[in-house]
Amino acid sequence: MGPTSLLFPLAFQSNCLQIRPNQIVITLTPVAESCPCPFCGQRSSRVHSHYRRTLQDLPAHGQVIWLVLLLRRFFCDHPDCPGQTFAEPMTGVAARHARKTGRLVAALQDVGFTTAAEPGARLAGRLGMPVSGDTILRLIRRAPAPVAETPKVLGVDDWALRKGQVYGTILCDLESHRPIELLPERSAEGLVDWLEKHPGAEVISRDRGGEYARGASIGAPDAVQVADRWHLLHNLTDALQRGIDRRQFLLAEAAREVASIGELSTPAPAVVVPTVAPVCLSRAEQLKQNSRTRRLARYQQVKELQRQGISLRKIVRTLKMSRKAVERFAHAEQFPERATPRRGSIAIDPFMPLLRQRVEEGHDNVRRLWQEIQTLGFTGSHDMVRLQVRRLRRACGRRGARGPQPAFRPPRVIRPSARRIAWLALGHVPTPSSDDQSLLKEIYRRWPQLQETAELAREFGRILKEHDIDALEAWTQLAEEPSTLEEIRRFARTLRQDWSAVVEAVKQPWSQGQVEGQINRLKLVKRQMYGRANFDLLRQRVLHAG
């Protein structure tokens, strides 16, 4: 059939072609008369013997291709050669002792890097490359890792191999937008070791952790360190949230004040009933009450140990609580109640005042009320109206109420969370509702310091966004004044401790955004392998994916 030199670097000719069910077998013989010795380099044409190698190749039209190569073994006639005989080399075709051609191995490695082992084996089988998942894992591990030059702009961040237990470090080239290395530990020593072996980094972008700051200072002392702007804003928001969380009693008073004038409440009329009995709690309400009792007991234990002068770390070990919960209880001036869940609006909400009026007037026929509000644009179901009418009947003491009702059912007060108030104060809520605006206005009236602090925090966001380096020093001095919220003063002190990196964060365009994107890709790769991949396999897939 003629030479097939286009198929391989060596010249072969086909002697036989066999078409079998689901596979094609091609027998090839080399046409070269002599071959160089791999030991001494001298060419030889004296044949010692013949042998056969069977290789699997890339499929054709969905059919498995098998190549049967009839190869030779040569004598080496050089007197000083350490080998007397040598096998005909297969450079560029297959590795030594391999059962697959090099291009098939490369294709299977690409499939494995993209889809992992078992899914890759299923896909390869459908494409005419039958292979096992274990073989794909071996091919992935055997592939050489991409070699990248030391980047001028390096991004450093941590990632979780096992969340809360084992963490590693990812290094990214921020100019080429790709990961260049995964380290199995999150430590300054690991970063120092890598930087010393790969000198040349001019800019190092990092989060505000002390380990990476120390590692960058030791491993690359001449590099410019840049703190991440998102982490700066996140730390400021957390500081403001902790400050608000300490004044839970003020938030509760403001919520009750706004509810009393009917802006945050779900009002229910006062009803005079001959006998007053306590309201029976549902199972969900009883569970919620029990949970609050347990949290209150924990809060009192933390406060008692704190009054005895015990450190927060020891309190964590004694009560076996998370450090975050202990810090929140220790800094709170009052027991932090859980925020009221914010229910999204439903279709019947705009028609509730009309339904309430009709039930108070005694017109509580569900079907008639449903038909009436349907003419006004209601698109909900009959059962939705029936449920709300039943609740209004109970509130009014009419039929449908089970058992005696209290003389007065107070309005439902929405207790805001510290996070919600912090986001409203910083302007992170794009379209705040009228309820939110009224609540924030009442909190500002009772606590003017919060309004001043929120304005100060918004100014810091403007400085980072507009890269206004001239205003940074003045802002920090203003944040350190005694009249500022204690948590904001503490945040300003942390800026002083990492001042050079913070200044560069305002000046430089680099950030950790794309590093976080690479970590998101890493998580996707890890979940494709059900989180069971060892570090070496995960490193191979992440670096090749980049």
Higher pLDDT, 14 or 419: 419
Compute the mean pLDDT over every residue in the chain, rounded to the nearest whole number.
84
Three-class DSSP category at 393: helix
Neighbouring-strand partners of residue 168? 159
Structure confidence by residue, pLDDT tens digits, 475-493: 999 999 988 888 999 999 9
Predicted local distance difference test score (pLDDT) of residue 402: 46
Number of other CB atoms surrounding residue 61 within 10 Å:
7
Which carries the bigger pLDDT value, residue 142 or residue 149? 142
- What's the CA gap between 74 and 46, in Å, rounded? 6
Q: Which two tokens stand for residue 526?
A: 């890890």
pLDDT digits (tens, 9 = 90+) for 151-176: 999 999 999 988 878 899 999 999 99
Q: What is the pLDDT of residue 194?
A: 93
Helix residue ranges, H only, 377-428: 382-396, 418-426
Q: Confidence band (pLDDT; 50, 70, 90) for 353?
A: confident
Helix (H, G, I), strand (E, B), or coil: what is residue 78?
A: coil
The three-state secondary structure class of 277 is: coil
Q: How far apart are CA 501 and CA 486, in angstroms?
A: 23
Instruction: Name which residue leads in pLDDT, 430 or 516.
Output: 516
Question: Are 15 and 28 a contacting pair, CB within 8 Å?
Answer: yes
Quote the pLDDT of residue 383.
Answer: 87
Q: What is the distance in angstroms between the CA of the first residue and the CA of the last residue of the chain?
A: 43
Average pLDDT for 314-332? 87
Per residue in 379-430, pLDDT (tens digit) is 888 888 888 888 788 777 655 544 444 444 455 566 788 888 999 999 888 8
Distance from C-alpha of 531 to C-alpha of 541, rounded to nearest angstrom: 13
User: What's the rounded mean pLDDT across residues 1-25?
Assistant: 68
> Three-state DSSP class for 302?
helix
Which residues face 28 on adjacent strands? 14, 69
State residue 169's pLDDT score: 94
CA distances from 362 to 268, 358, 398 (A): 15, 6, 9
Three-class SS of residue 253?
helix
* pLDDT > 70 fraction of the chain, expressed in percent and rounded: 89
**Max CA-CA distance within the chain?**
121
Is the pLDDT at 450 greater than 80? The verdict is yes
Contact in structure between 527 and 257 (CB atoms under 8 Å): no
Domain boundaries, the chain: 12-142, 153-228+511-545, 236-250+415-498, 263-396
**Least confident residue range of 99-103, 432-436, 479-483, 519-523:** 432-436
Which of 457, 460, 453 lies closest to 506, judged by CA? 460
* Cα–Cα dist 47/6, whole Å: 26
Report strand pairing: 166-173 vs 153-162: antiparallel
Question: Rounded mean pLDDT of 55-62?
Answer: 88
C-alpha to C-alpha distance for 231 and 507, rounded to whole angstroms: 16
- Topology annotation, domain 153-228+511-545: Nucleotidyltransferase; domain 5 (3.30.420)
Predicted TM-score (pTM) of the model is 0.72
